[in-house]
């Protein structure tokens, strides 16, 4: 199949707003792609590469060669070139990589180049990713989408699942099994503003569990071999030797566990997330690092033990099995209750202990990939500050032409000005975007560039955030974590905004 066939379908998908219409376009193409190229087509049309990543980002895609006039590139040819680029990137030479990228784009028409640019940049923006592609695979193969989802949970990679469905139908999908040593798509959590709402979503009684601010890990053990995967299924076994050792000490030698690693201080309270992240992403001199900053692991789910797959069991059964397989010291603290007062106290306690909050889990739900639905619901406390808008950046995509991303500052009584604490684009409705664009242009002052409009510091906005962290980037040495807009405060003037002193008091 030619690349241009895929590009045309992607364009049709982009033009179609109805989801069923998008699915129709995708399924039509999947119906005519050859077995040898199905995996490539599915990957491209859900915004992925069969190679996952190839070491090429937006910067390596500047000044590309002139396009060709005739579209002749096949999917297989493009795929082979991308594999070559990945191999060269792994070996280091940026010049060689650049030459290969040029060769790839020199073989494409203008239309194909535009598609490839978005695909490699990781921003396909056609309104269809995995969720829509699952339905398209189901439609094209005649299999129920539940079978496709189930296979995706077990296999963790939709292009492989989709290709199997197209050639082998339902039997091929049902042939996927949990394989120890191969990562499963992780189950994710939705969120709720408070414990009561979370309990209502998950259904009482529910399991309430400490939400630790660390790194999600999926751990596989087969005999004496252990593998550790992240949420995006990267293998990070080599960075976490203490986790490997802990799992090797468990009585069972056939396990798939789900949990969180986190750096704790000697008194048991958590280090800031940055400390855990730094430790978990370091590959060099791990032996020394683990002495300085040991990581602890806390498991909360068990997907397999001693030859038995547990994914389809209700959560309460998996918990029971987990309790038998893992000693109490490696278990995430939890409480099963249907009483709001008890639940609220548990929440207060975990926050007082310095942790992030709770995950409230339905006792009956099986383990299912993706689906940030009602099965698991997270609850975290929320801080707010009244800050001043210092500037705004022009948005992209559906926010094109709107001033979107706000630069936020706290008042600095000593210096007499405002100190920037970060940016946010979250929480804005279309109406608010329109309003603030107009208002900011009225308040515009100082040097502007193509990206940013500076404004007189007069508008006060109420910002919600999860915490204050140490920042190497911002002038005050502090930045807000997960900042989002709650509302503008027309009743407040800049002189009434919160101060740096207040922000400092929130940083632990």
Partner DNA sequence: TTCCGACAGTGGGGTCGCAAT
Partner DNA sequence: ATTGCGACCCCACTATCGGAA
Q: Which residues are designated catalytic?
A: 211
CA distance 180 to 303: 10
Q: Which of 153, 405, 436, 437 binds DNA (CB under 7 A)?
A: 405
Q: Which of 11, 55, 72, 342 binds DNA (CB under 7 A)?
A: 55
Determine if 205 is a binding residue for DNA (CB under 7 A): no
Least distance from DNA to the Cβ atom of residue 359, Å = 9
Least distance from DNA to the Cβ atom of residue 306, Å = 27
CA distance 499 to 422: 15
Q: Which of 102, 167, 281, 384 binds DNA (CB under 7 A)?
A: 281
Least distance from DNA to the Cβ atom of residue 254, Å = 25
- How is residue 36 annotated by DSSP? G
User: Which residues within the stretch 169-198 sit at the binding site for DNA (CB under 7 A)?
Assistant: 190-191
Residue 109 or 218: the one with the smaller Cβ distance to DNA is 218
Q: List C-alpha distances in Å: 86 to 40, 83, 92, 287.
A: 16, 5, 10, 30
Contacts of 324 (CB under 8 A, 6+ apart): none
270, HSE (Cβ side, Cα atoms, 13 Å):
25
Least distance from DNA to the Cβ atom of residue 377, Å = 10
The residue count for binding DNA (CB under 7 A) is 92
Q: Which of 84, 194, 222, 282 binds DNA (CB under 7 A)?
A: 282
* Span near DNA by CB under 7 A; candidates 63-71, 123-131, 327-335, 454-462: 123-131
451: tokens are 């990206």
426 is in an annotated binding site: no
CA distance 376 to 363: 10
* Span near DNA by CB under 7 A; candidates 30-38, 50-58, 330-338, 496-504: 50-58
CA distance 428 to 304: 43
Least distance from DNA to the Cβ atom of residue 495, Å = 25
492 is in an annotated binding site: no
Helix 75-91 to helix 94-106 angle, to the nearest 10 degrees?
Answer: 170
Q: Where are the beta strands (DSSP E) in 306-345?
A: 308-309, 334-337
User: Which residues within the stretch 330-359 sit at the binding site for DNA (CB under 7 A)?
Assistant: none
Determine if 366 is a binding residue for DNA (CB under 7 A): no
CA distance 194 to 366: 24
Determine if 395 is a binding residue for DNA (CB under 7 A): yes
Query: Is residue 153 a contact partner of residue 177, using CB atoms and an 8 Å limit?
Result: no
CA distance 167 to 137: 11
Residue 425 or 488: the one with the smaller Cβ distance to DNA is 425
User: Which residues within the stretch 472-491 sit at the binding site for DNA (CB under 7 A)?
Assistant: 472-474, 479-482, 484
């Amino acid at each position: 199949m030619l690349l241009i066939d895929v590009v045309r379908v992607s364009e049709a998908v982009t033009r179609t707003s109805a989801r069923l219409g998008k699915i129709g376009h995708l399924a039509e193409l999947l119906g005519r792609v050859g077995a040898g190229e199905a995996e490539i087509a599915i990957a491209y049309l859900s915004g992925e590469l069969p190679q996952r990543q190839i070491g090429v980002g937006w910067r390596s895609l500047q000044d590309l060669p002139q396009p060709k006039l005739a579209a002749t590139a096949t999917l297989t040819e493009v795929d082979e070139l991308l594999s070559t680029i990945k191999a060269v990137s792994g070996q280091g030479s940026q010049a060689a990589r650049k030459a290969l990228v040029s060769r790839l784009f020199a073989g494409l028409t203008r239309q194909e180049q535009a598609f490839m640019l978005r695909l490699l940049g990781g921003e396909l923006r056609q309104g269809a990713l995995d969720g829509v592609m699952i339905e398209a695979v189901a439609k094209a193969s005649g299999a129920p989408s539940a079978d496709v989802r189930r296979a995706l949970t077990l296999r963790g990679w939709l292009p492989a699942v989709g290709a199997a469905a197209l050639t082998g139908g339902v039997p091929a999908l049902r042939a996927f099994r949990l394989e120890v040593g191969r990562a499963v798509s992780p189950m994710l959590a939705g969120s709720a503003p408070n414990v009561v709402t979370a309990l209502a979503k998950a259904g009482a009684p529910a399991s309430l569990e400490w939400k630790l601010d660390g790194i999600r890990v999926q751990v596989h053990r087969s005999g004496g071999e252990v593998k550790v995967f992240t949420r995006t299924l990267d293998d990070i076994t080599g960075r976490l030797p203490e986790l490997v050792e802990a799992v090797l000490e468990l009585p069972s030698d056939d396990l798939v566990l789900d949990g969180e690693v986190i750096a704790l201080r000697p008194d048991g309270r958590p280090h800031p997330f940055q400390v855990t992240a730094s430790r978990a992403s370091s590959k060099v001199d791990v032996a020394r690092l683990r002495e300085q900053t040991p990581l602890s692991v806390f498991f909360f789910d068990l997907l397999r033990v001693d030859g038995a797959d547990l994914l389809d069991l209700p959560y309460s059964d998996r918990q029971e099995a987990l309790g038998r397989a893992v000693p109490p010291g490696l278990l995430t603290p939890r409480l099963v209750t249907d009483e709001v007062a008890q639940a609220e106290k548990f929440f207060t306690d975990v926050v007082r202990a310095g942790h992030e909050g709770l995950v409230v889990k339905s006792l009956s739900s099986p383990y299912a990939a993706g689906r940030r639905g009602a099965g698991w619901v997270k609850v975290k406390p929320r801080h707010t500050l009244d800050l001043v808008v210092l500037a705004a950046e022009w948005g992209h995509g559906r926010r094109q032409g709107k001033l979107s991303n706000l630069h936020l500052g706290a008042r600095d009584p000593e210096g007499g000005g405002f100190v920037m604490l970060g940016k946010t684009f979250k929480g804005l409705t279309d109406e608010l975007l329109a309003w603030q664009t107009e208002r900011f242009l009225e308040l515009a002052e100082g040097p502007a560039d193509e990206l940013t409009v500076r404004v007189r510091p007069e508008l006060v906005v109420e910002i919600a955030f999860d915490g204050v962290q140490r920042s190497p980037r911002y002038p005050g040495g502090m930045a807000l974590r997960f900042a989002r807009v709650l509302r503008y405060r027309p009743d407040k003037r800049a002189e009434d905004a919160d101060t740096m002193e207040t922000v400092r008091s929130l940083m632990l």
